[in-house]
Structure 1
């Protein structure tokens, strides 16, 4: 199976796992387009720059993390994504989306370093534009890994153990490390439930609230709080 077929297969899991093939106008960490995305999110949600930066990054991280993660779990191979192989392109509705022209596949063991290296420049670009904590952004990235695990296992419960092991390898690597805690599972999670050590600030959006892995939630009955 080549990269294009692999991406098409995992995209069948739902839009959270969609990363289309192809090139685009500018590379992933292009400062102008990152600023544009943050401004778009802020305008759409009616929130301040820090909240917009956090949520814009989280949306991009989800798109970057979920497809290669699912490929690793289901197929034992990962598209060799990098800062020079992920591009901003145009979506069907005229908005911007991410695409990749990666052609090589690497093994599952490469996934943690691959995702860390893919997101690190994006973290830097966001922080250069808006003074938001790196710890918060990496917490967002870790949250997307846990969300990808949950969504995948709901559809494919037979791969729950493998999905948990692959996710845990990512969550203990590089910028992801220390972003949260693995606790005994609560439905719909299997194997473990993730509780982060930071907050994405969604509660500051008009009409927003706390996410189900937020550090601001009361401690889970099965374990203590993840941290301040």
Structure 2
């Protein structure tokens, strides 16, 4: 188990700001109190402004990507949110030696905004920065219910979504440098992520594909299971 020196979390999580947009999390205050929570999104509870929050955001992503395939947008939305959650937790783990409780009921979400204005934490509650705590916060509290909410409306394979989660984790760790590697290796051994790919040093090769190659002008990612974009006859193997 990786042990980190604990420093009190400040109410603004200011240590995340120098790390860049994906790491920043707005915290404290009441400026965004009217926004829905991610718990509301995962439970498919409608918003007066956006209707179904998940389908609203998937449509927004599809429009940006210029794709008519909702499962592509669903996949890339999930991978992006996973990256945000890993960035906050791993960034705090290294900066503070503790992580904030990202309970979906505390984490407000603007489905019409971009990073870092998409998420806002209403209260900073410190938790340990060990792998089990991070797995509870990211995998169990968020990515499991998010996967269920997405799959209720979109044809996205579970293996693809967990591959996305692992890919986002490794990408986050790569930005944080060697200090993040031991914690990343522990998290990749979690039952939900084990078998999603192979980690060699800082290099990861996943066993699934996020479907980015199907976006107009897209291609395969650096950690994709494919070395080149599949032909149309192979599309069914990409999940």
TM above 0.5: yes
- The reply to whether residue 121 of structure 1 matches residue 128 of structure 2 is no
Shift of the 68–197 alpha-carbon distance from structure 1 to 2, 3 Å rule, reads same
* 1:210 Cα deviation from its structure 2 partner: 0.7
Unaligned runs of 5+ in 2: 1-7, 45-51, 229-238
CA distance, structure 1, for counterparts of residue 34 and residue 11 of structure 2: 16
- TM (norm. structure 2) is 0.78
Asked if the contact 1:138–1:175 (Cα under 8 Å) also holds between the matched residues in 2, the reply is yes
The residue that corresponds to 2:193 in the other structure is 176
Asked if the contact 2:91–2:176 (Cα under 8 Å) also holds between the matched residues in 1, the reply is yes
Deviations 1:133-172 (Å, cap 9, x if unpaired)?
Answer: 111111111111111111111xxxxxx1x31011112111
The residue that corresponds to 1:15 in the other structure is 21
Shift of the 41–92 alpha-carbon distance from structure 1 to 2, 3 Å rule, reads closer
* 1:3 Cα deviation from its structure 2 partner: 4.8
CA distance, structure 2, for counterparts of residue 24 and residue 202 of structure 1: 33
**Mapping 1:80-159, distance limit 5 Å:** 80-89=101-110, 97-109=118-130, 110-117=133-140, 118-153=142-177
Aligned residues: 203
Unaligned runs of 5+ in 1: 154-159, 184-190, 219-227
More helix by share: 1
User: What's the secondary structure of 1:17's corresponding residue?
Assistant: coil
* 1:180 Cα deviation from its structure 2 partner: 1.3
- The reply to whether residue 70 of structure 1 matches residue 80 of structure 2 is no
Asked if the contact 2:26–2:117 (Cα under 8 Å) also holds between the matched residues in 1, the reply is no
The residue that corresponds to 1:43 in the other structure is 63
